[in-house]
Amino acid sequence: MSQRRSFVKQIALGSAALALPNILLPRKKERLGVALVGLGYYSTDLLAPALQLTQHCTLRGIVTGSPEKAARWQKQYGIPEKNIYDYQNFDRIADNPDIDVVYIVLPPMLHREFTNRAARAGKHIWCEKPMALTAAECKDMIGVCRDNRVRLAIGYRMQHEPITREIIGYGREKTFGQIKLISVADGYFDGRADHWKQKRRMGGGAMFDMGVYALNAARYVTGEEPFAVTAQEHTTRPEIYSEADETTLFQLEFPSGALANCATSLGMNMNYLHVTAEKGSYQLEPFQSYSGIRGSTSRGKVLDQSVPNQQARQMDDDALAILNDTPLLVPGEEGWRDIRVVEAIHRSAFEGRRVRID
């Protein structure tokens, strides 16, 4: 009899728990709080406005070394004082439940440091490209995030863009047969004479800045990893580009036999992707820009689907992957795969020979 009374009591307690107001039960977050680390052009003009358009994340904090910037951002976006950090007290973000994700928008030489600090603080990380200066740094970042059970996504927004997703599908499904040749170029004229992008040690140079777009495109178009590269570096302004590359040309070889002719520059404007396959061809021009991606196929199809804001799409995709515990579209491993090739490109250009990629 006493056992029966105990059982009835347990059932009653369970029913009472179900009847409690929702506020007493754990609730799944609908939006992730994001803190931007570094308030330069990309954060100020693109990411912060994009976060006003997202559905699954929102701007909650900032990290900056400039008090005057902090004051402006606080006023413009209503960021509370407790969610404003500098680079010295950044680690205190671990104690802030408002912040779920930190988006690292710093010069590449700082990507590993702040990724690892954020991971140890228990925050998910979105890190801008290029992921880091070396493949070893990338592997370290991936390991620290894994050990601290946080997610790491790399800011290759083009892989979230619908037209780019379509041509990735062409390669995977062999829509036009086996890919034979890729021609891809990405660059612009940078007139600055004293900026971190002219300093290789900080992650500057055309290959790190723009070349990863061309490299990433060759990889996502084929769906393969290149096994060899031949590269050349050139400059028309040696007084500015004395240590970093102004223009880099590189040729990639893929296991299927596909070849890629790639170019990147901080000294000239270029922006196209042409793919030649067994049963036709397709192209995008521009293939990489903040808007206006367009192209066509040899079968007469016009590729002109757009999204209102690429950065918002990217951040919402990454937020949903975290919220739903599903795979990230562009995880840290994708950044590592590019940087290992970048290392081989720099080595090939320096040594003047074809280099196999380990």
Q: Considering 123, 157, 191, which residue would you say is the last residue of a domain?
A: 157
Does residue 312 sit within a domain?
A: no
Q: Global pTM?
A: 0.90
Shared domain check, 126 and 170: no
Q: At 182, which amino acid appears? A: I
Q: Are 142 and 340 in contact (CB under 8 A)?
A: no
pLDDT tens-place string over residues 53-80: 999 999 999 999 999 999 999 999 999 9
257 and 299, same domain (yes or no): yes
Residue 77 lies in a domain: yes
Q: Which of 6-15, 39-48, 83-92, 189-198 has the lowest mean pLDDT?
A: 6-15
Tally of structural domains, the chain = 2
Is residue 267 in a domain?
yes
Query: How high is the pLDDT of residue 4?
Result: 40
Average pLDDT over residues 329-355: 98
pLDDT at 21: 39
Tell whether 135 and 166 lie within a shared domain. no
Same domain, 94 and 152: yes
Residue 1 has pLDDT above 60, yes or no: no
The owner of tokens 């599903």 is 326
How is 164-221 classified by DSSP, letter by letter? HHHHHHHHHHTTTSSEEEEEEEEEEE---SSSGGG-GGGT-SHIIIIIHHHHHHHHHH
Q: Is residue 274 part of a domain?
A: yes
81 near 74, Cβ under 8 Å?
A: yes
CATH number at residue 78: 3.40.50.720
- Token representation of residue 80: 């509370």
Domain boundary pick from 124, 140, 157: 157
Domain boundary residue among 98, 126, 157? Answer: 157
Rounded to the nearest integer, the mean pLDDT of the chain is: 93
Judge whether 293 and 300 are in contact, CB under 8 Å.
Answer: no
Q: Are residues 173 and 122 in the same domain?
A: no
Return the pLDDT at 311: 98
Peptide bond into 327 cis (omega under 30): no
Tens of pLDDT along 131-182? Answer: 999 999 999 999 999 999 999 999 999 999 999 999 999 999 999 999 999 9
Q: Does residue 173 sit in the same domain as residue 73?
A: no
152 and 177 both lie in a single domain: no
Same domain, 84 and 133: yes
> Considering the chain, what percentage of its residues have pLDDT values greater than 90?
91
Q: Is 301 a domain residue?
A: yes
Confidence of residue 8 (pLDDT cuts 50, 70, 90): very low
Residue 215 inside a domain? The answer is yes
**Mean pLDDT along residues 267-277:** 98
Predicted pLDDT of residue 268: 97
Same structural domain for residues 103 and 202?
no
Determine the average pLDDT of the residues in 336-341: 98
On whether the CB atoms of residues 152 and 122 are closer than 8 A, the answer is no
The stretch 336-345 carries a mean pLDDT of 98
Identify whether residues 153 and 194 lie together within a single domain: no
* Any domain includes 325: no
Using a pLDDT cut of 70, give the percent of the chain over it.
92
pLDDT at 27: 61
Q: What is the mean pLDDT of residues 253-279?
A: 98
Instruction: Decide: 36 and 90 in contact? Cβ < 8 Å.
Output: no
- The reply to whether 152 and 170 lie within a common domain is no
286 in a domain, yes or no? Answer: yes
Q: What CATH number corresponds to the domain at position 349?
A: 3.30.360.10
Same domain, yes or no, for 107 and 207? no
Span 261-281, average pLDDT: 98
Give pLDDT, residue 305: 87
The domain in which residue 65 lies consists of 32-157
305-314 confidence digits (pLDDT tens): 889 999 999 9
